[in-house]
């Protein structure tokens, strides 16, 4: 049973549209807001969003809005599915429109360069506390392309308030979309954001022509880096063994749908970063997250050799093969020395 029958989803790209479809399947009316008028017109007139989800028909319960104020009318639960770089701007508009406390769910995956903030921290900073009921993060191994085909998917709703996480579980859960709850917001947000760095690395490795051994090494030692930084930042290390840690790492490093893997793959084949990003045409969150985490790791003195290598390839044009050679040539380490 759902507690509410109307929600606003902000962001009409792949993920916002796919999650709107899950909500509509659960008989929730969705006000889907986006800033591109032609996409909103297509959603309302043809019930499709072919730029992001070709061959999918959207349920009638989804209505497109290009005016944010109208999209937020009579809703007390708002889902954000925009790139991390747009979060502060959108929350600032929300705060000027709503009069009652709202629950904000976010489904974005990133860390802000410069401030090193997680998305829930940015939301809490921008939203006055009397207008913010709860913040919940929805994360896990979930490509929009498969969710929109109603293929089995599992995710996690995390909040410091169990009731809020359970509320979001109830909103989204159905026979194709299974939702777990978790109280470890830090671990869930970091797992979902940092796996994108490692997915760029997995794509680079594949693009260079390396095999499954190399990719397994990147994923495993990448997870060790994620857990090392995450523990330092207050996450429960066990969270990284769950859906939002190893689960999302697997799906992003091994799936043809992943924008981050595809970006790494093109880079590994010798394309420039600018060409790669314009070729993909959708948000590749791992690029900005690599920048943020490279500097954060330096500040916290956490060893993250894979992240550093990917940073050098992305931002200092280091040859990707040389970066792999240097990772392999590091001094011998003990796998069990730190637990990671
Ligand atoms: N696509 C997926 O399968 C998937 C799954 C889980 C999480 N996510 C996360 O969801 C977030 C959104 O990703 P996506 O795949 O939907 O991206 P996308 O590129 O498909 O769509 C992003 C949408 O945001 C819009 N946008 C960009 N800048 C904006 C701004 N300043 N204001 C308002 N709208 C803006 C774009 O026009 C586009 O409609 C990312 O953080 C991503 O990591 C994506
Ligand atoms: O397509 P990506 O690489 O942005 O990954 C999408 C999701 O985060 C996978 O869970």
Question: Is residue 2 pLDDT above 70, yes or no?
Answer: no
Whether 104 and 164 map to the same domain: the answer is yes
The helix (H) or strand (E) run that includes residue 145 is helix 144-147
Whether 156 and 94 map to the same domain: the answer is yes
* Closest CA to ligand 1's atom 18: 13
Give 255's contacts (C-beta < 8 A, 6+ positions apart).
Answer: 143, 261
Whether 265 and 179 map to the same domain: the answer is no
Whether 22 and 93 map to the same domain: the answer is yes
Whether 203 and 81 map to the same domain: the answer is no
Question: Is residue 172 pLDDT above 50, yes or no?
Answer: yes
Pocket test for ligand 1, best of 22, 32, 82, 278 (most atoms within 8 A of CB): 82
CA of 282 to the centre of ligand 1 (A): 7
pTM score, two decimals? 0.97
Choose among 76, 69, 73, 66: nearest CA to 32: 66
User: DSSP code of 116?
Assistant: -
71 within 8 A of 102, measured Cβ to Cβ: no
Enclosing domain of residue 96? 6-183
Whether 163 and 285 map to the same domain: the answer is no
Question: Is residue 1 pLDDT above 60, yes or no?
Answer: no
Tokens of 260: 């981050």
Pocket test for ligand 1, best of 21, 92, 283 (most atoms within 8 A of CB): 283
Specify the pLDDT at position 4. 60
Question: Is residue 155 pLDDT above 70, yes or no?
Answer: yes
Whether 137 and 43 map to the same domain: the answer is yes
CA of 142 to the centre of ligand 1 (A): 14
Specify the pLDDT at position 3. 43
CA of 40 to the centre of ligand 1 (A): 15
Specify the pLDDT at position 338. 59
Q: Is residue 337 part of a domain?
A: no
Query: What is the C-alpha to C-alpha distance for residues 56 and 175, in angstroms, rounded to an integer?
Result: 19
Specify the pLDDT at position 275. 97
Place of tokens 């985490």: 293
């Amino acid at each position: 049973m759902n507690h509410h029958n109307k929600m606003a989803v902000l962001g009409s790209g792949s993920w916002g549209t796919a999650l709107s479809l899950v909500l509509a399947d659960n008989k929730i009316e969705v006000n889907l807001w986006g800033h591109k008028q032609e996409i909103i017109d297509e959603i309302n007139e043809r019930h499709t969003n072919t730029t992001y989800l070709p061959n999918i028909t959207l349920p009638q319960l989804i209505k497109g809005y290009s005016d944010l104020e109208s999209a937020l009318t009579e809703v007390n639960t708002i889902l954000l599915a925009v790139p991390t770089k747009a979060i502060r701007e959108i929350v600032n508009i929300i705060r000027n429109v709503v009069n009652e406390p709202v629950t904000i769910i976010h489904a974005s995956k990133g860390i802000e360069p410069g401030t090193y903030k997680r998305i829930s921290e940015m939301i809490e900073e921008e939203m006055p506390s009397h207008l913010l009921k709860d913040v919940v993060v929805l994360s896990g191994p979930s490509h929009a392309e498969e969710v929109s085909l109603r293929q089995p998917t599992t995710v996690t709703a995390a909040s410091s308030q169990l009731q809020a996480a359970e509320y979001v579980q109830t909103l989204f859960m159905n026979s194709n979309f299974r939702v777990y709850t978790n109280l470890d917001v830090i671990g869930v947000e970091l797992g979902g954001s940092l796996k994108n760095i490692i997915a760029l690395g997995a794509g680079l490795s594949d693009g260079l022509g390396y095999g499954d051994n190399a990719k397994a090494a990147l994923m495993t030692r990448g997870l060790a880096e994620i857990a090392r930084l995450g523990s330092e930042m207050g996450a429960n290390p066990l969270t990284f063994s769950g859906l939002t840690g190893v689960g999302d790492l697997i799906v992003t490093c091994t799936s043809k749908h992943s924008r981050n893997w595809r970006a790494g793959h093109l880079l590994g084949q010798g394309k420039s970063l600018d060409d790669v990003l314009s070729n993909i045409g959708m948000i590749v969150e791992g690029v900005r997250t690599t920048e943020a985490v490279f500097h954060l790791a330096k500040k916290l003195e956490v060893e993250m050799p894979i992240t550093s290598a990917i940073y050098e390839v992305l931002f200092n044009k280091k040859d990707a093969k040389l970066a792999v050679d240097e990772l392999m040539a590091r001094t011998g380490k003990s796998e069990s020395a730190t637990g990671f």
